[in-house]
Chain A
Amino acid sequence: MSASPSNEPVDVLIIGAGASGAAIAWSLTETRMRILCLEQGDWMMSSQYPTTRKNWEAQQFGAFHVDPNVRGLEADYPVNNTDSPIDVLNFNAVGGSTIGYAAHFPRLHPSDFRVRTLDGVADDWPVSYDDLEPYFVQNDRIMGVSGLAGDPMYPPKQPPLPPLPIGRVGEVVAGGFDRLGWHWWPSDAAILSQPYEGRDKCLNLNPCMSGCSQGAKGSTDITYWPEAIRAGVKLRTRCRVREVTVNADGMADGVIYYDADGRECVQKAEVVIMACNGVGTPRILLNSKSPQFPDGLANRSGLVGKNLMFHPVALATGVFEERLDTHKGPNGCCILSKEFYETDPDRGFVRGYNMQVTRGAGGPLATAMRGLASGDIPWGPGHHEKFRQRFDHTVQVLAVCEDLPEECNQVTLDPELADSNGIPAPKITYRLSENSKKMLAHGLERGKEVMRAAGAKEILETPLLRPSGWHLLGTARMGTDPTRSVVNSWGRSHDVKNLFIVDGSIFVTAGGVNPTSTIQALALYIGDRIKANLANLFDD
């Protein structure tokens, strides 16, 4: 390792260039402060995404796998999932996990912010749906959201683009919902149904989760970042932050990071903003120990890393006689149902779940490999007959369940496992609560019910999907009480007045929907609060 280069100090240092880091970088550009973002990954090139290659499916099992432990790329860090029934998933690049997400783009519901008041569990958020509503709108415009206005399960909203086609898949499953008298609606998606802001519309390539070659999917490398960089924000890639440093007054004064050549570098800053997701942020904070913060930075509450929430997923796969072309169209975005989203005490659990209808098992290789893993499609004689029954004939309905915060579910630093720079890896300790188990079971049964009503001739069950830890929430929660939360109502650390957190870590509860829309709305909201408080940003 060579000497430690030092860099020119900046006003604002953002760690992480994903969903939230991009949004707040863009938001703060109007301040004309010197803003720098450090990102451990690199820029992606759409011409290199799998769907441009004949072996596009195989890459989803390798370099574009959703699990960083399987990918094992230079930009990735390992995650110890051995004490969790759900594996952490992510993507590390400019754009972060928006490179690998399905772009299913629901907002949290108004009730999600008031769970203590409405249902007597967990805590209310210190912000409301109405507080965030203008930022949802702003974010929808920048990311390019397609959807249909009028969903009675939400306050009025108008997506900027018309909905994506639901296709024959959507029609068939919607018929099931109709027969049961259940709610359904086309999914809001951060995927363009029409040309928009210099980007072309979706080509229905299908595997959105390995990057969008068309650029129709709203990942922040092609939405927020170009605008933020044009406005003067600096983005330095392949820089992995080890720790946030503090001065004698206990204020954050910068970071130590490793550059692309593995050199240890110092970056000084007046303000530090964490945007590394609900696992990456507590990992860095817990690794930032000092005499003032012996248990990790901003952790006087002891809650950094605790209250980890996923969205546990159960899924029912319906097998249909009719060919449904399920390898065409955005994989994760078809239709949804909120029939079981709000609390009903008669169900035996509190809170609820979103039913997300996806477009099946994917292409031929994915179909065959998943069939091999489950034993549903044999190798050898009999393969072709079973394969034909499955490929393009299966539809999945996922019950995306609200997880409630529990301190025993947490991210800590692994004492042995480390990344390529020697930084301790995150260790996940997580168990399903009884409430979540009941909700999963209920969701699976309702999924089977709707598949039967839609005409499925056979239904396959997955009671808990292990590779489902995309949504990493709650590990540095917001709140007004410094003893029961890590940051205040606008993302500022209670303990370190110039340290902000803007990613999913700050969620108080998880809701039952994919969180990216709300994460980004929160980041924009915090950006506006920072701008409004610039004159007294560090005051009590």
Chain B
Amino acid sequence: MENATTTTACTDAQLRRLSALLDTVLPASTDGTLPSAREIDFTAYLSEQAPEFQEELIGILERFDDNFPDLAISRRVDLVRVFSSSDAPAFRRLVFRIYDSYYQSDRVRTAIGARPGPPFPNGHSIPSGDLSSLEAVKARGKGYRR
């Protein structure tokens, strides 16, 4: 785990449910190259970047029982799917926050081939590309009307 930060807004039981929810929405990849979302410090992300979402998150966590973390992933997926069907906007907001946290992670970005950090100021280098076939395009002659 990158960090074990917790938020004072959540109870221990809610944090257990959150951890399971993160693992359900984004489990680790089967080849082991990508971590589960539970391994990313989601609560620190919330505190720093989306504090306004914390209250809604607690409400979402209350939709799940205390035994949710103990269920097999297939059962957890079923329950999350029920939630997504019953309140699609809230589910979308939750997933957005999980994805945002996950895909900002340096570890994740490195694993997917995206450089960590913001694009500016380093930018990217891309090849000019081969323009040689444009000679054939030009050879077709004028293609506009007046």
**Distance of A363 Cα from B49 Cα, bound (Å):** 18
A328/B124 contact (C-beta < 8 A), A165-B129, A185-B137, A392-B113 known = yes
Give chain A nearest CB distance to B109 CB in angstroms: 7
Give chain A nearest CB distance to B75 CB in angstroms: 12
Contact for A166 among B80, B114, B117, B131, CB less than 8 A: B131
Chain B, interface residues (CB within 8 Å), range:
35 or more
Q: B109 to chain A: which residues have CB within 8 Å?
A: 364
A327/B130 contact (C-beta < 8 A), A58-B49, A183-B137 known = no
Q: Mark A182-194, 1 if CB is under 8 A from B, else 0.
A: 0111100000000
Contact between chains at A206 and B119 (CB < 8 Å): yes
Contact between chains at A365 and B103 (CB < 8 Å): yes
Q: B114 to chain A: which residues have CB within 8 Å?
A: 327, 363-364, 391-392
Contact for B77 among A56, A202, A205, A381, CB less than 8 A: A381
Contact for B120 among A168, A205, A329, A383, CB less than 8 A: A205
**Distance of A152 Cα from B141 Cα, bound (Å):** 6
Contact for B146 among A111, A163, A183, CB less than 8 A: A111
Contact for A323 among B113, B118, B120, B122, CB less than 8 A: B113
**Distance of A107 Cα from B133 Cα, bound (Å):** 23
Q: At the interface, yes or no: A51 with Cβ under 8 Å from chain B?
A: yes
Q: A329 to chain B: which residues have CB within 8 Å?
A: 124, 126
Residue of B nearest to A365 (CB): B103
A54/B103 contact (C-beta < 8 A), A167-B129, A329-B126 known = no
Total number of residue pairs linking A and B with CB closer than 8 Å: 167
Of A170-178, A290-298, A498-506, which stretch is located at the interface? A170-178
Q: B49 to chain A: which residues have CB within 8 Å?
A: 55, 58
Q: At the interface, yes or no: A466 with Cβ under 8 Å from chain B?
A: no
Q: At the interface, yes or no: A226 with Cβ under 8 Å from chain B?
A: no
Give chain B nearest CB distance to A213 CB in angstroms: 4
Q: At the interface, yes or no: A116 with Cβ under 8 Å from chain B?
A: no
Q: Which of chain A's residues 362-386 have a Cβ closer than 8 Å to chain B? A: 363-365, 368-369, 372, 379-381, 383-385
**Distance of A155 Cα from B99 Cα, bound (Å):** 48
Contact between chains at B126 and A111 (CB < 8 Å): no
A-B contact pairs, 13 of them (CB 8 A): A51-B119, A129-B146, A152-B138, A166-B128, A185-B137, A204-B123, A204-B126, A338-B144, A363-B103, A364-B109, A365-B100, A372-B95, A380-B27
What residues of chain B have their CB less than 8 Å away from a CB belonging to chain A?
24-27, 29-30, 34, 49, 73, 77, 80, 92, 95-96, 99-100, 103-104, 108-109, 112-114, 117-131, 133-134, 136-138, 140-146
| Known A58-B96, A369-B96; further 18 A-B contacts with Cβ < 8 A | A53-B118, A57-B100, A58-B100, A109-B145, A110-B145, A150-B138, A152-B138, A155-B144, A183-B140, A184-B137, A205-B120, A206-B124, A327-B114, A328-B125, A342-B144, A365-B104, A380-B27, A384-B30
What residues of chain A have their CB less than 8 Å away from a CB belonging to chain B?
49-58, 61, 109-111, 114, 118, 129, 148, 150, 152-155, 163, 165-168, 170-171, 174-175, 178, 183-186, 202-207, 213-214, 323, 325, 327-329, 338, 342, 363-365, 368-369, 372, 379-381, 383-385, 387-388, 391-392
